[in-house]
Amino acid sequence: MYRFVVVLCLFFLSCDQKTKVEKEVEEIPVDIKVERFDKAFFETKPEDLSKIKKQYPYFFPGNDDNVWLQKMKEPIWREVYDEVQKKYSNFEPVREEFNELFKHVKYYFPKTKIPKVITVIGEMDYNAKAIYADSLVVVALELYLGKDHKFYEFPNYIKYNFEEKQIMPDVVSSFTYRNIPAYPDKNLISQMIFEGKQLYAKDLLLPNYTDAEKMGYSPEQIKWCEENESYMWRYFLENEMLYSVDPKLTTRFIAPAPFSKFYLEIDNDSPGRVGAWIGWQIVRSYMKNNNVSLSELLKINAKEIFEKSKYKPKK
């Protein structure tokens, strides 16, 4: 009974602290400005292209206008534009999510400038869906139309995250990657913890998102990782992979993929990037056992995080 009461008190203490943080976050004034470059570009006449170039010079690094003029006129890009406008004619709900996100960013990174958000229609480059760059966030809306949209001829594991709900997690990934120092060691554990840092940042910056949404997994994939955490960890240890610099391990366990490659029967059920998920659990364990801020966490080297994490996978 005594133990139950202690656990209950700790639970409410944790809730009170969380509520205190969220109350302070709520008081931070943030008013994100959004510019719809996608609309400005496709609603401009070809003969007026120079006006757009003057307004958005950073999107026009070269002097060749033919590429842009062709995109203005190309029927398929006009169709893409029409589909984007159908879904995002009202961008206000997304802008409000940006406000909420950057209140949290300002709380944990007070020196961060509040960026301007610019929406574009890019080139279907899924490696550049949302880019955070100092005072700008650029969002390629053609890649957030919904995973089942007729335009997408990508593998399922890639287009699964072409959803509006993935805009904020993608922005946080871009933001944190810019704030995490490159790891000098190329071993697997360093890569796992590098990925774990940016996923842990989502815990604090996107507190209302599920683990599946933060990771870009389905709920079933998160459940698979939780149920197989101990097995995966034992596999890494028994095969002496943690300090290996074999580049194939990145492809097998860190990079986006339809599944992770244990070269066992479980491969068919496993999601890709399980190494990143394990790295996330290591970082979570470290933060439970060490009193450091989020900004400090991003700078601490992987070796120290691993050694002080006291990480033990759930049985």
**pLDDT band, very low/low/confident/very high, at 4 (cuts 50, 70, 90):** very low
The answer to whether the beta carbons of residues 101 and 206 sit under 8 Å apart is yes
| Cα distance between residue 65 and residue 70, in whole Å | 9
Nearest to 131 by CA among 190, 76, 174, 80: 174
Average of pLDDT values for 208-231? Answer: 97
* Each residue's pLDDT tens digit, 79-96: 999 999 999 999 999 999
Average of pLDDT values for 99-127? Answer: 96
Q: What pLDDT, on the 0 to 100 scale, is given for residue 9?
A: 52
Q: Please state, rounded to an integer, the average pLDDT across all residues of the chain.
A: 92
Q: What pLDDT, on the 0 to 100 scale, is given for residue 41?
A: 96
* Each residue's pLDDT tens digit, 8-55: 454 455 555 668 888 999 999 999 999 999 999 999 999 999 999 999
| Cα distance between residue 264 and residue 256, in whole Å | 19
User: Considering the entire predicted model, what is its pTM?
Assistant: 0.91
Three-state DSSP class for 271?
coil
